[in-house]
């Protein structure tokens, strides 16, 4: 008896793979088409190399800053801290394995995204929040790591998703932010745009940055000196 399994992978937050089995009624198995054999012989994409290319593409912008705009914010928040304020990302500190990207919201310089390349080519995204005096906020650090089933780069476009890790979930629970436990963050990159995304059931937030128009460099993020 011949079985074929088709996997449908969802890229949205909280989506899961679903398998569908198709069973043939023929007693004998038909020869596999040559085209199918050729497809199965193709090597799997090198995920580690793709992620290295993603980091290299981002690293090429190190030392520059870019303006952003909100392209999705559902449902709208009545006390939205981003509304009406200039949004700027600054690729400030770049090493072979770590990129620190302060995200400024008006005069608020409390936020820094930290992207780290881990063993095996996995990526980790963490959020570092600081007070103006440089001390750590209670809600820090949090984030997650890319999973084995994430979507790798296609041509010169990338999207990586970072489900909240165990450390972050414990932090959210401790600080009475259980609503954030199913958070999935995503980073997208192509030749013209960098996108930061937060998604969970009932919530979607996306900020898009124009990489074709460098901006005046902002001041350092709060606490930047203490992290050196």
6-23: pLDDT as tens digits: 333 333 333 333 333 333
- End-to-end alpha-carbon separation of the chain, Å? 62
Distance CA 128, CA 112 (A): 5
| Residue ranges covered by each domain of the chain | 3-40, 47-227
CA dihedral 194, 95, 82, 84 (to 10 degrees): -70
Non-local (6+) Cβ contacts of 207 within 8 A are 68, 69, 70, 71, 82, 87, 195, 196, 197
Give tens-digit pLDDT for 81-99: 888 899 999 999 999 899 9
**What pLDDT is stored for residue 154 in this prediction?**
62
Q: Is the pTM of this model over 0.85?
A: no
In this prediction, residue 28 has a pLDDT band, given cuts at 50, 70 and 90, of very low
């Amino acid at each position: 008896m011949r079985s074929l399994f088709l996997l449908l992978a969802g890229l949205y937050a909280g989506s899961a793979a679903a398998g569908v089995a198709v069973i043939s009624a023929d007693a004998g198995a038909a020869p596999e088409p040559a085209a199918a054999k050729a497809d199965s012989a193709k090597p799997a994409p090198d995920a580690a190399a793709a992620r290295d290319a993603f980091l290299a593409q981002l690293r090429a912008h190190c030392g520059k800053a870019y303006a952003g705009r909100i392209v999705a914010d559902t449902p709208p928040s009545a006390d939205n801290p981003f509304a009406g304020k200039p949004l700027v990302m600054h690729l400030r500190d770049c090493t072979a394995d770590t990129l620190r990207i302060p995200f400024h919201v008006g005069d608020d310089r409390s936020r820094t995204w930290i992207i780290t390349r881990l063993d095996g080519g996995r990526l980790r995204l963490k959020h570092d929040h600081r007070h103006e005096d440089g001390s750590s906020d209670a809600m820090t650090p949090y984030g997650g790591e890319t999973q084995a089933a994430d979507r790798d780069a296609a041509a010169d476009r990338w999207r990586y998703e970072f489900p909240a890790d165990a450390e972050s979930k414990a932090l959210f629970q401790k600080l009475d932010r259980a609503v954030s436990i199913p958070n999935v963050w995503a980073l997208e990159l192509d030749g013209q745009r960098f996108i930061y995304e937060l998604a969970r059931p009932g919530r979607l937030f996306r900020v898009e940055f124009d990489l074709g128009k460098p901006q005046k460099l902002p001041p350092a993020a709060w606490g930047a000196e203490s992290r050196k």
